Amino acid sequence: MTPLYLSATLRRLEADYAQHEPPLIELAGKSIAQWLLARYRGSRFGVLVGPGNNGADALACARRLREAGQALHCLVPLARKALSSPDAALLALSGLQVVDSAGLSECDVIVDGLFGLGLNRRLDTSITGLLEAIDGFGKPIVAIDAPSGLDSDRGVPSPVALHATHTLSMLGAKPGYYTAAGRDYCGEVHLIELLPPTAARPAADAQLIDTQPNAPQLHRQHVSHKGTYGTLAIFGGSAGMTGAALLAGRMAAKSGAGKVYLGLLDPVLGVDVLQPELMLQAATDLVKRSDLDLAAIGPGLGRSQAAQALLQQLLASDLPLLLDADALNLLSSAAELQQQLRTRTAPSIITPHPAEAARLLGLPTNKVQEDRLAAARELQARLNTAVLLKGSGTICADCAGISINGSGNGALATAGQGDILSGLIASLWLQGLSPIDAARLSAFVHGHAADDWRMQHRNGLGLCASELIEPIRTLLNR
């Protein structure tokens, strides 16, 4: 896991080291220049210089590039408004040629030191036009701390941002690189360590799950049997949506659940011919069983009165419970169901996509996407449950902390992916992981399997959920 820091936390860290020798700005300028020279030596560099520390980092880098004999030009679009007189004097003394945006188009590599981290205002049209023009040059862009226009805390543009080829992260990685739109703007992220390993650091604001979490509980002993690994009930499969329950069940079976029952609202099927190990029953019969260890409700559930009654019955039970899909939509429309979830003594986890999260919070979907970390925290606190908020940079949150999943790509934007994820989480939870650990491991291997697939399918088109079941099993057994 990689620690993630909000801009306010990093500003406090910068303040703590304000008297550091050499100054952090000089360390940053040297480190950025070394990184650029290692990859782009001999190129013509165009350096965007903004106000504040980000612009100062860019100037320090530009001086180093000039000392190394590199051709470079600077663009200072906010010089009259924002650059301090010492910065302006430094620019002149450095002998750096200032050009307009047209001159920048003649450069080979753009170094973006315009705004950096923590941008918390909407940019005016003159700046958004400049950013769009620079994007249009089609040149490699190397952003210092964050692509200009991107909120590094939330991963959202304001309202546009540069599309960086590389982002050089000073002091620490930021959440906005990895969630919402961040990955589409940041390109490849590189952490630049300015402080020695022994330097005191603040507590991380979140964690990035960038390697497969270790789960020794999943290693099987010789002395075990199917009952050792639990009995899972998956409730859903209303008329026309039986496939969702089948996908969840197949994933649960192939990720190690001891026994898997499907409780179908439309019990038209008596057997899954592709996965005959699954046991199919009417939901009204399955919910009465006393030998269940864990329940998941939602895949293909629908929003009928029968579905609501089933949800109410499971909320009142002492079974550990995963709620997904229409179970969440039913929950959002009934305050009494939310109260049932909030006061449960058995553990629970909800797995909403952004629209389902928005309904639960009474917000438009775009508001959830504008601050995904805050939305996940609010859901966890309001409903007293662990949360997996799906989307680019899936968020996992419980009362102990919050994380962002670092795997996955746009190929996962197809029907059924949420169903196999629910089955996977429930299965790993059943086998001894905590709800949040099951969610984190599931999100990672689900995304990792899609990343492996994308290596062979460059555009990411046509990935069906069922295709990932076997690759996920392989990843879990590595």
Mean of pLDDT values over 177-200: 94
Is the per-residue pLDDT at 84 higher than 50?
no
Indicate whether 28 pLDDT > 90: yes
Residue 148 marked ligand-binding: yes
Structure confidence at residue 52 as a pLDDT band (50, 70, 90): confident
DSSP-assigned beta bridge partners for residue 207 = 3, 403
211 annotated as belonging to a binding site for a ligand: no
Residue 117 labelled as part of a binding site: yes
pLDDT of residue 117: 79
Quick one: tokens of 25? 């700005």
Average per-residue pLDDT for the chain: 93
Strands 348-350 and 321-323: parallel
| 336-346 confidence digits (pLDDT tens) | 999 999 999 99
- For the stretch 332-372, pLDDT in tens is 999 999 999 999 999 999 999 999 999 999 999 999 999 99
Which residue is listed with tokens 């979490």? 213
Would you state the CATH architecture of domain 216-476?
3-Layer(aba) Sandwich (3.40)
Whether the Cβ atoms of residue 27 and residue 53 lie closer than 8 Å to each other: no
* Distance between CA atoms of residues 307 and 310, nearest Å: 5
Establish whether 122 is an annotated binding residue: yes
Length of the chain: 478
Task: For residue 394, say whether it is annotated as part of any ligand binding site.
Answer: yes
477 is in an annotated binding site: no
Sign of CA dihedral 314, 316, 320, 321: positive
Dist CA 380 CA 462 (whole Å) = 34
Band (pLDDT 50/70/90 cuts) for residue 159 is very high
Annotation-wise, does 393 bind a ligand?
Answer: yes
Integer Cα distance of 63 and 196 in angstroms: 24
Query: Does 126 carry a binding-site annotation?
Result: no
pLDDT digits (tens, 9 = 90+) for 229-266: 999 999 999 999 999 999 999 999 999 999 999 999 99
Amino acid symbol at 63: R
CA distances from residue 359 to 332, 337, 368, 375, 380 in whole angstroms, order as listed: 6, 14, 10, 11, 14
Share of the chain above pLDDT 90, in %: 85
Distances (CA, A) of 64 to 59, 223, 251: 9, 64, 54
The strand pairing partners of 235, in sequence order, are 263, 297
392 known ligand binder: yes
pLDDT in tens, 375-414: 999 999 999 999 999 999 999 999 999 999 999 999 999 9
Is 244 annotated to bind ligand?
yes
Strands 44-49 and 71-75: parallel
9 is in an annotated binding site: no
Residue 324 among known ligand-binding residues: no
**β partners of residue 110:** 46, 141
121 is in an annotated binding site: yes
Q: Please check if 419 is assigned to a binding site.
A: yes
Of 256, 233, 222, 277, nearest to 433 (Cα)?
256
CA 359 to chain centre: 20
Q: Is 54 annotated as a binding residue?
A: yes
**In CATH, which of 3.40.50.10260, 1.10.357.10, 3.40.1390.10, 3.30.530.20 is domain 2-204?**
3.40.50.10260
Say if pTM beats, i.e. exceeds, 0.85. Answer: yes
Q: 390: annotated binding-site residue?
A: yes
Residue 59, annotated ligand binder? no
Instruction: Tell me: is residue 145 an annotated ligand-binding position.
Output: yes
120 carries a ligand binding annotation: yes
Q: Are 27 and 56 in contact (CB under 8 A)?
A: no
Domain extent listing, the chain: 2-204, 216-476
Structure tokens at 108: 């080979």
